Amino acid sequence: MDASTLALPQIGLAGLAVMGQNLALNIAEKGFPISVYNRTSSKVDETVSRAREEGGLPLAGHYSPREFVLSIKRPRSIVILVKAGAPVDQTISALSQYMEPGDAIIDGGNEWYENTERRIAEADQRGLLYLGMGVSGGEEGARRGPSLMPGGSYQAYENVRDIVRKVAAQVDDGPCVTYVGPGGSGNFVKMVHNGIEYGDMQLISEAYDVLKTVGGLSNSELADIFSEWNRGELESFLIEITADIFKVKDDLTGDGELVDKILDKTGMKGTGKWTVQQAAELSIAAPTIAASLDCRYLSGLKEERENAARVLKDAGIGGPGEVLLGRSLDKRRLIDDVRQALYASKICSYAQGMNLLRVKSVEKGWDLNLGELARIWKGGCIIRAVFLDRIKKAYERNQELPNLVVDPDFAREMVQRQAAWRRVVGLAIEAGISTPGMCASLSYFDTYRRARLPANLVQAQRDLFGAHTYERVDRPGSFHTEWTKLARQSKPGAVGAFS
């Protein structure tokens, strides 16, 4: 649409890679005129052309920062969708010199939350408002309805509230957007969302590996199984797309399914690593998410893994699943066991992410509403799943819930599934198939439910070699013992009885 015929927009978007283009077109399609800008002119032309082809949407392209900013009605709201880090600062610098007090910058990228907090302070010095807004859903979500997680200036959110509520994915209890909180909370929530996503994808890949390697299931059978699972408690975006992946043929060779031809090396962009680092900083156990990150690191060692497979085979170890050859296997039971193990493991992964959000919220004073965050993840985003509604209700029942596994409903489900969960993990270990995500989830569950752990011995060790002191179970206070001195003074025990 020609800029001269476009009603003066109240919003603009800078950064027209596919995500930026799709979000801009989504905004325009919802009836909100929008100005767009990109340093590369061809991207502007491409976006304008798409707007014309997709129904004459009210979108106008601009080719300079000044022209772009001045085309927007005050108070301006400008969304930036460029690569995190220095490119964001460069874009802000180019645009802000033409912006005026009361205008707002909205960063929609996967930015480190402390960078957002620095930019909030810098924007405030110039009278500008600032939002760090997590956007989840990929290219399709950006175009059709993402989950949006804005945090920072509440006034900046209010200025675009009507727009983002229309643009976001819509679920039964409202649009998948909420004002998350002050500071960098929006970016932090999106980061943890991505960490949960890492865990979710790892767990699904392990379920696939067990079914394929132990169960001997074909890709066609796997497609049917995942499609069936997507009609039950595991209903989710990731389960749905996994079923679709198994159906796609290899069009280059015409031989078999494409999934089997993909190199087993996983990429990453950093948000999973940040999540694990933050969990460590806050002393929050997130073993499932950490295991998924470790698996991505190990997947990158393709040549080393191939060499290890050869060396260890020569040393006498069989390949994955070989130990089970010849053993009768109830495939129907295996499939059902894996379904239950996957569900229970996923709950632990989500619990770890929610706990990280809860503790960070207290530290920063963000006052995050965990139930509301679960609600806005019900649609649009990558981790959207039917059980998010139950997570929402769990936090509505108890806003101080310390862990999802002790919510009465989830506790019952975990107990009901633990036998199947243990069978799957045990079978995988016996078969030499790595299931680090499921194992981490099960260990997390078993550790969390223990009233007493062997940590007493670890603390005794720490006191012996470092005089770190310890507490007792029977009286208050801190204690230190001269362990080695006392041990050497004691009489020999009956150790020989066990020799």
User: Which residues is 236 bridged to in the sheet?
Assistant: 385
Catalytic, 190? Answer yes
Whether 82 contacts 94, CB under 8 Å? no
Nearest 5 degrees, angle CA 370-CA 374-CA 378?
Answer: 165
CA atoms of 369 and 194, how far apart (whole Å) = 18
CA atoms of 134 and 180, how far apart (whole Å) = 10
CA atoms of 87 and 80, how far apart (whole Å) = 10
Take residue 442 and report the two structure tokens written for it.
């099960």
For the CA atoms of 451, 454, 459, 464, the dihedral, rounded to the nearest 10 degrees, stands at 150
State the catalytic residue, choosing from 29, 43, 111, 190: 190
State the catalytic residue, choosing from 111, 117, 197, 413: 197
The pairs formed by 137-140 with CB atoms below 8 angstroms and a separation of 24 or more are 137/169, 137/380, 137/381, 137/382, 138/19, 138/382, 139/18, 139/19, 139/22, 140/22
CA–CA distances in Å: residue 364 to residues 211, 224, 303? 43, 46, 44
The pairs formed by 3-8 with CB atoms below 8 angstroms and a separation of 24 or more are 3/35, 3/60, 3/61, 3/62, 3/71, 6/33, 6/35, 6/58, 6/59, 6/60, 7/33, 7/58, 8/33, 8/71, 8/72, 8/73
Q: Which of 62, 151, 158, 139 is nearest to 376 (CA)?
A: 151
SS3 state at 236? strand
Q: What one-character-per-residue DSSP string does 361-423 give?
A: HHHHT----HHHHHHHTSSSSTT-BTTHHHHHHHHHH-TT-S-GGGSHHHHHHHHHHHHHHHH
CA atoms of 25 and 31, how far apart (whole Å) = 10
State the helix-helix crossing angle for 408-431 and 185-213, rounded to 10 degrees: 50
User: Which residues is 149 bridged to in the sheet?
Assistant: 134
CA atoms of 477 and 166, how far apart (whole Å) = 58
Q: How many helices (H) and strands (E) does the chain have?
A: 20, 11
Q: Which residues are catalytic?
A: 190, 197
